[in-house]
């Protein structure tokens, strides 16, 4: 009887450790995901600023940052990785193929932008930049909750 209680106690402890570990792991992935998205936002702002100066080197390097970040997205969205700090909608995992297609479309645009900047094709750079925000926004509208208003 005593061995049984010890066994059940150990089993319950392992269960609680597993649950706690998963909670911390989800918080960690959410933190990394938010950092990546902030990095993309910073890069896009730099691209828009550089576009005004025809600074093609900056546009190319920042577009490559965005493209590389987009490769990391599947690992940063493990199924069910939500938290109070995450604005990710469950639709991400319900419509994973659509989510992934949108990610690939943005990555393709980022790579095209880098190539246009490398060729110093200002007209093409401008055209891609104009459509870039819409591609990102499409994913955000579909798969991201609106920001909570601070009260």
Residue with the bigger pLDDT between 140 and 122: it is 122
The residue-averaged pLDDT of 42-57 equals: 96
CATH no., domain 2-143: 1.20.120.10
Give the distance, in angstroms, between the CA of residue 128 and the centroid of all CA atoms in the same chain.
Answer: 20
> What pLDDT score was predicted for residue 151?
61
Looking at the DSSP assignment, which residues form a beta bridge with residue 88?
144
pLDDT, tens digit (0-9, with 9 covering 90-100), for 90-130: 999 999 999 999 999 999 999 999 999 999 999 999 999 99
Instruction: Say if residues 151 and 69 touch (Cβ distance below 8 Å).
Output: no
Enumerate the domain spans of the chain: 2-143
Classify residue 93 by burial, with Cβ atoms within 10 Å: 0-12, 13-18, 19+: middle
Q: Which pLDDT does position 84 carry in this prediction? A: 78
Three-class SS state of 83? coil
């Amino acid at each position: 009887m005593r061995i049984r209680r010890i066994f059940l106690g150990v089993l319950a402890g392992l269960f609680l450790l597993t649950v706690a570990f998963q909670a911390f792991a989800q918080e960690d992935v959410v933190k990394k995901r938010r950092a990546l998205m902030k990095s993309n936002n910073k890069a896009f702002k730099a691209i828009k600023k550089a576009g005004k100066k025809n600074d093609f080197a900056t546009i190319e390097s920042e577009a490559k940052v965005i493209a590389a970040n987009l490769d990391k997205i599947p690992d940063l969205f493990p199924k069910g990785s939500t938290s109070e700090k995450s604005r990710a909608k469950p639709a991400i995992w319900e419509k994973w193929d659509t989510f992934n297609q949108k990610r690939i479309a943005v990555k393709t645009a980022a790579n095209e932008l880098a190539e246009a900047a490398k060729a110093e094709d200002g007209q093409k750079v401008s055209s891609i930049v104009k459509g870039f925000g819409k591609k990102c926004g499409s994913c955000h509208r579909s798969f991201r909750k609106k920001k909570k208003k601070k009260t």
